[in-house]
Chain A
Amino acid sequence: MNAINPIDAVESVALGAPIDVTIENVEKAFGDTPALHGVSLDVKAGELVALLGPSGSGKTTLLRILAGLDAPTAGRVLFGGDDALGLRVQDRNVGFVFQHYALFRHMTVYDNIAFGLTVRPRAERPPKAEIRKRVLHLLDLVQLSGLDKRYPSQLSGGQRQRVALARALAIEPRVLLLDEPFGALDAQVRKDLRRWLRELHDQTGHTTFFVTHDQEEALELADRVVVMSKGQIEQVGTPDEIYDAPASPFVFGFIGESSFLPVTVVDGAVQLDGTPLDLAALGAPSGAATLGFRPHDISIVEGDAPAIVGQIIAERRHGGARRLELEVGSARHRVEIDMAVDHTRQEGGLVAFRPHRWRLFPR
């Protein structure tokens, strides 16, 4: 495979101005199974938005509704302020990149990319020379120059992915939609393509949605991340907001490694089994709450300072640290923490620690 180089400042793909996309109270049910429930979202022109969630969260359904491949049971979708749901998929002018690319296997790379232009009615179809110029330019943009006569079966996964993208860009879409764009690629190609797609977006400026279940991918690539679960939006925010201020235990758990403990908030202080932990309640109301923290955001506590004490159940190597699995408190809640590899263990298999970053979710 060719190495993926930074994009040259070649002339940008001819485009209309990017448009805003508004999703209002979209509902979708397949038979009796609800797939989307009251989804609303405002996306500004030129934004790169990640739809992030586990499988079955409705993210792909939402993407297909934007494309016109599925119709919502209720709600509105606006492209640049105009109703989009009244438009057929052919007239919606969206570039859709499918998870498994869906390249036309009996056509060359050139014919694949030119397809969207050659199927236009004669009056709107650009002349052959113009199509050729545009296809070759797109091939250059996705760094596949010289492969125009190949068939899809003769390409690697990463190359097919880029042909699919070029084919979608050829119709000068108003919105670009990518379904798990890197799902079928191996780890290294994935990383290269991710960076490359970000640069491509910065250059072409499409309003772009991409679906992913990989939180790392979403956080690295997107301007804004939409976390979805069970057909609903859990949180919308910049990668920093999502990571640092998750709105729910679900988002906290989905966005990175996490441990949870049931605690009680009393007068602005956090207690575990009635023992104060010396953690500020960060404005959480008094009463039962869930304490969430990440395994690497903890400090080991020596001496008698207030701490969470756990019994070591298992330990294993985890990157540069040692990951401990602990049972905490009388109810033996399982949590995970990271400890320095060279740290000597305390006697009796007990560890005392305190999170130095944490979130409280009222129950």
Chain B
Amino acid sequence: MSDEAFTSARLPGASAIHFRPVTVERRRIRVGLILVSLAFLGLFLVLPVVAVFVEALRGGLPAFTEAIFEPDAAAAIRLTLLVAAISVPCNLVFGVAAAWAIAKFDFKGKSLLNTLIDLPFSVSPVIAGLIYILMFGSQSLLGPWLKSEGIQVIFAVPGIVLATIFVTFPFVARELIPLMEEQGRGDEEAALSLGASGFQVFFRVTLPNVKWALLYGVLLCNARAMGEFGAVSVVSGHIRGLTNTMPLHVEILYNEYNFAAAFAVASLLALLALFTLVVKSVLEWRYAEEIAATRRH
């Protein structure tokens, strides 16, 4: 059979032959998978978020702003910002130090440290709060001493900060460790051989190499620090205007059947989550090439 006969024999049916890569599923399956995921996202993520905003604005914009600027709500917002402003930098320092130690050095107990970092992920936040009550509460060993010194940890801001740090400390370290392990020690060795001091190596080589992962870790850490409920609830004591963070304030308002105000404050937390997502996406889109470059060479 000549080539010509071969092609002409195939040509009429050519439009019917549909080539697809072997790893791409049939159209029906693809559409089905996409629909299932969208339905799930819609039902469990989008719908509740929309509901939060709808409820928050049900009473109109004036009622919304009034609920937010009401003194107890404003105090809760300030406290939340304060707690985040203390706990995020603490975990930034801890996360970088832990990741640096685990990824770049060999030492005894390295895998134990690596496992311990995950502890807050596996421990219930309520227990995290109880730990601090057992440590610093009036029945604890430290309790009498703290009391005689006039230091209030539990049912006060220090307790809330401690509980928040505990719950959020894996976020930065977990983002950094895999990346730093992948990057190895070569860049640092090169910088040292070129005469850089340890300080210069860290700030001019190590840190820039992980800056995007670090920023992402900080964003996640911040979102969790502001949104933490369980651990903070245990140590806070729920004193309105004093030890109530935003999530606790939402709960109190809700329990008082003050739905409009509860949803107004809740919508701020939801906005924070959306803001975190948007910033992350924008960064990824804007610096895609640079981010890719820090991952591979």
Question: Which chain A residues have a beta carbon within 8 Å of chain B's beta carbons?
Answer: 67-69, 89-96, 98, 100-107, 115-116, 119-120, 151-153, 160, 167-168, 170-171
Contact = CB atoms under 8 A, between A and B. Distances in A.
Contacts of A67: 193
A103 B297 contact: yes
Given A90-B192, A90-B197, A151-B293, A102 B209 contact: no
Nearest to A154: B293
A102 B196 contact: no
B187 A119 contact: no
Contacts of B70: none
Interface in B12-26: none
B195 interface: yes
Nearest to A157: B297
Contacts of A93: 195
Contacts of A167: 190, 194
B194 A115 contact: yes
A85 to B, nearest CB: 15
A119 B192 CA distance: 10
B179 to A, nearest CB: 12
Nearest to B201: A119
Interface in B183-228: 186-187, 189-197, 200, 204-205, 208-209, 211
A115 B196 CA distance: 8
Contact of B194 (A105, A106, A171): A171
Judged by DSSP, the binding face of B is helix
Interface in B268-297: 289-290, 292-294, 296-297
Contacts of B189: 69, 89, 96, 98, 102
A116 B186 CA distance: 15
A167 B187 CA distance: 13
B186 A119 contact: no
Interface string B218-260: 0000000000000000000000000000000000000000000
Contacts of A103: 190, 297
A120 B208 contact: no
Contact of A120 (B192, B193, B195, B289): B195
B239 to A, nearest CB: 47
B194 A102 contact: no
A168 B195 CA distance: 11
Contacts of B200: 119
Given A104-B190, A115-B194, 14 more contacts: A67-B193, A69-B189, A89-B193, A90-B197, A96-B189, A98-B190, A104-B191, A106-B211, A106-B293, A120-B195, A153-B293, A153-B296, A153-B297, A168-B194
17 contacts: A90-B193, A90-B195, A93-B195, A95-B193, A96-B189, A96-B190, A102-B186, A105-B294, A107-B208, A119-B191, A119-B195, A120-B195, A153-B292, A153-B297, A160-B297, A167-B190, A170-B194
Nearest to A153: B293
Q: Which 3 A-B pairs have the closest CB atoms?
A: A116-B194, A102-B186, A102-B190
Contact of A106 (B186, B193, B208, B296): B208
Given A105-B294, A106-B293, A106-B294, A94 B196 contact: no
Interface of B: 186-187, 189-197, 200, 204-205, 208-209, 211, 289-290, 292-294, 296-297
Contact of B196 (A68, A90, A152, A153): A90
A95 B196 CA distance: 13
B186 A98 contact: yes
Contacts of A115: 191, 194, 196, 204
B287 to A, nearest CB: 11
B212 to A, nearest CB: 10
Contact of A105 (B193, B197, B293): B293
Contact of A96 (B193, B208, B290, B293): B193
Q: Which of B191, B209, B290, B296 has the most CB of A within 10 A?
A: B191
A248 B200 CA distance: 48
B209 A106 contact: yes
Nearest to B195: A90
Nearest to A107: B208
A69 B290 CA distance: 29
Contact of A152 (B192, B195, B297): B297
A80 to B, nearest CB: 18
A102 B201 CA distance: 13
Q: Which of B191, B195, B205 has the most CB of A within 10 A?
A: B195
A203 B194 CA distance: 22
A103 B297 CA distance: 9
Nearest to B292: A153
Nearest to A113: B194
